[in-house]
Chains A and B, each alone.
Chain A
Amino acid sequence: MIEVIDLKRNFKSGDTTVHAVNGISFSVPDGQFASIVGQSGSGKSTLLTLLGALDKPTSGSIVVDGQDVTKMHDHKLIGYRGRKIGFVFQNYNLVPNLTALENVMLPMEFAHMPRARRKARAAELLEQVGLSADQQDRKPGKLSGGQQQRVAIARALANKPKLILADEPTGNLDSKTGKMIFDLLHDLAKTENTTIITVTHDLSISGKTDVTFTLHDGALVKT
């Protein structure tokens, strides 16, 4: 269960204060696939940044498995992000000079998993997302957008996280590939019992998730 309570994130812009996230509260049960929609500047990405513990809120709480993430020290957050959260980004964000396999092994290395185990798991995950052995040894530049996003999904799953946060995961893909990636995420949410929260402005995707949150000017306007 992930629970967001009265979450706020303000930014200073000159003399004015921008309320990027303005008192949002919601909860998502384990294994559910949730989407956050809204116009550009509505605070979707800021909310995702806070949920992923990449940034700290001005106030409010994010409770994951009964633990308030906003109260954690920075060094604890490193471990938390590595073990409890998986990220999937719109532009994949793979490390360019590492192969697909090495990219997937990376979070497991930071979680101190033995090399042999992480290699086996990375190969297994890449196979699960549909990358052949040959493709696994290619660097991101030699893979298509869809294949790179599959590698990113495999990387996000590497440490069996409780929560996967996806920022416009289909934004850079054509509609066919985008649908395939969405289906992949949807299936993984069910098979791995992982909570997935995705930010999207693709209404065809948001309509298929278990729950959809609509943001407007930093506030939750519809669930």
Chain B
Amino acid sequence: MNGITRGIRNAFRNVTRTTALVLILGLSLGLALAMLVANQAVSDKIASVKSSVGNTVSISPAGARGFDGGGTALTETQLAKVDALAHVKSVSESLSDRLTTDDTNLQSAVEAGDLGQRFSQRSGQGFSIEGGGPMGGPSNSSSDTGAPTVARTFTPPVTVNGTTDPTNLSSGTQGGGTFTLKDGKVFAGDSTENVALIGSTLAEKNNLSVGSTFTAYGTTVTVVGIFDAGNTFSNNQVIMPLATVQKLSDQVGSITSATATVDSVENVSSTTTAVKSALGSAADVTNDAEKAEEAIKPLQNIQSIALYSLIGAVAAGAIIIFMTMIMIVRERRREIGVIKAIGASNVKVAGQFMAEAVTLTTLAAVIGIVIGVAAANPITKMLVDNSTSSATSQTMGGPGGRAVRGAFGGVQSSVTNITASVGWDIILYGFGAAILIAIIGSGIASLFIAKISPAEVMRVE
């Protein structure tokens, strides 16, 4: 038998005390483990949400969104300021325009239908044909001014997008979707050639293929590629080099949308503020990260709660084992004196007590792991449910709550969908923490052991 074996045996000298201690310490370690798991699960979810929203900042002229609204186009000079900002890796720029039957021979692949007719009639205020009233949109109504009644037919226009980032086909285009190049190749971002990528349905409608030509702005344009975005609207578009569209549409230097790519998700918020500051009231600046931040705020609260609870539980465990070891050392002062008197060094005696503490905490760790594994998921879910329901009710209660829910409900429901799983790494962390607690607890106790004189053996009780 050596000091370690004696320490292990000593752990069972007082079975009642050992049982009580192991249970209390086990609860403490179980709580610590559950909180560690909750913390990790929430951290993973936060990282997942952040990575899913990307690291871009969207910039558009103030008041404009696609072909809705109005306002004044941004200039390349203004966007050069954005490009110079800290944390901005790159800025892709685009200019959107519509090709009408007056300046293109392309036929739209989208039929107007009831919606198109209605939208065309309601696309603005105070529109009438020349001689009939102020400009702004079509009208087929007779007026009191005596303007002639015009029967109008409406064909949805073909949208043309000039871009500096043709490798990212969705950049600056309308309608969304996953853009894939079906045929041909993309042009260079800084190209000034009269070339274009066209949507698959538009190409089909106009019998175009790679190498074909069509007319835009009275100029012959060559098709270099055909893309598919997976939806009818997006496939009715033309993508051309920005400089070409600016030149052909007589809008040199104009930009209708830009996307700034930031070096990391963490810097998106600060960069958005910097862009707003740089462009002032000329631009609307938005990012999804801000919305994501709102959604993950409850998770960050849970993360803090879990972290503090984890620290508290580990500290409680360390205090429990420390106090226990101090009590045991005080109880066995005479025995320690005897062992020292017959030749044991402080190190040997401390080692024996450390083995005892490690035995107690290992037993507690086993119980703690069982408790932690069983409780981790329910505790995490309870924390998430309580925290997010509280946050949602606060958001919905304030102004704009409906808008937040509508625009970002998907992310909110996604953040509550957290499953805490206990892997081997977590179990090893749990054991590691338990051993650490034992070493700290008994290590401090060993300082008291060192102070016990072998003459203690002569003390008369």
Contact = CB atoms under 8 A, between A and B. Distances in A.
B6, B457, B458: most-surrounded residue (chain A CB, <10 A) = B458
A57 to B, nearest CB: 12
B260 to A, nearest CB: 69
B455 A105 contact: no
A79 B181 CA distance: 85
B341 interface: yes
A48 B2 CA distance: 29
Interface in A28-62: 45, 48-49, 52, 54-55
B343 A79 contact: yes
A163 to B, nearest CB: 13
A218 interface: no
B457 A89 contact: yes
A53 to B, nearest CB: 8
A109 interface: yes
B89 interface: no
Interface in A77-133: 78-79, 81-83, 87, 89, 93-98, 102, 105-107, 109-111
A83 B2 CA distance: 18
A17 to B, nearest CB: 19
Contacts of B340: 78, 81
B453 interface: yes
B10, B342, B453, B457: most-surrounded residue (chain A CB, <10 A) = B342
Given A54-B453, A109-B2, A97 B344 contact: no
A113 B70 CA distance: 95
B34 to A, nearest CB: 35
A155 B344 CA distance: 14
Nearest to A97: B13
A78 B345 contact: yes
A159 B2 CA distance: 17
B339 A95 contact: yes
B247 interface: no
B10 A155 contact: no
A102 B6 CA distance: 10
B111 interface: no
Given A78-B345, A98-B6, A109-B2, A54 B454 contact: yes
B290 interface: no
B338 interface: yes
Interface in B297-339: 334-335, 338-339
B341 A52 contact: yes
A78 B343 contact: yes
Given A93-B334, A95-B338, A54 B343 contact: no
Contact of A54 (B10, B339, B348, B458): B458
Contact of A87 (B6, B9, B457): B457
A54 B341 contact: yes
Interface in B1-53: 1-2, 6, 9-10, 13
A55 B455 contact: yes
A88 B249 CA distance: 110
Contact of A81 (B9, B10, B341, B348): B341
Given A95-B335, A97-B10, A102-B1, A110 B348 contact: yes
Contacts of A78: 340, 343-345
Contacts, number: 66
A22 to B, nearest CB: 19
B13 A110 contact: no
B335 A54 contact: no
Given A48-B458, A49-B455, A54-B457, A106 B10 contact: no
A176 interface: no
A107 B13 contact: no
Given A93-B334, A105-B1, A109-B2, A155 B342 contact: yes
A106 B343 CA distance: 9
A82 B454 contact: no
A122 to B, nearest CB: 11
Contact of A75 (B2, B334, B341, B345): B345
A223 B181 CA distance: 114
Nearest to B456: A54
Interface string B42-79: 00000000000000000000000000000000000000
Given A54-B453, A55-B455, A167-B458, A107 B9 contact: no
A107 B340 CA distance: 10
Contacts of B453: 54-55
Interface in B438-461: 453-455, 457-458
A110 B9 contact: no
A98 B345 CA distance: 19
A106 B341 contact: no
Contact of A106 (B9, B339, B457, B458): B339
A75 B458 CA distance: 20
Contacts of A54: 341, 453-455, 457-458
A167 to B, nearest CB: 7
Contacts of B455: 49, 54-55
Contacts of A159: 343
17 contacts: A45-B458, A78-B340, A81-B341, A81-B342, A81-B343, A81-B454, A87-B342, A87-B457, A89-B338, A93-B335, A94-B338, A97-B10, A98-B1, A106-B342, A107-B342, A107-B343, A110-B343
Given A45-B458, A110-B345, 4 more contacts: A78-B343, A87-B457, A107-B343, A110-B344
Interface of A: 45, 48-49, 52, 54-55, 75, 78-79, 81-83, 87, 89, 93-98, 102, 105-107, 109-111, 155, 159, 167
User: Lowest 3 A-B CB distances belong to which pairs?
Assistant: A82-B343, A110-B343, A54-B455
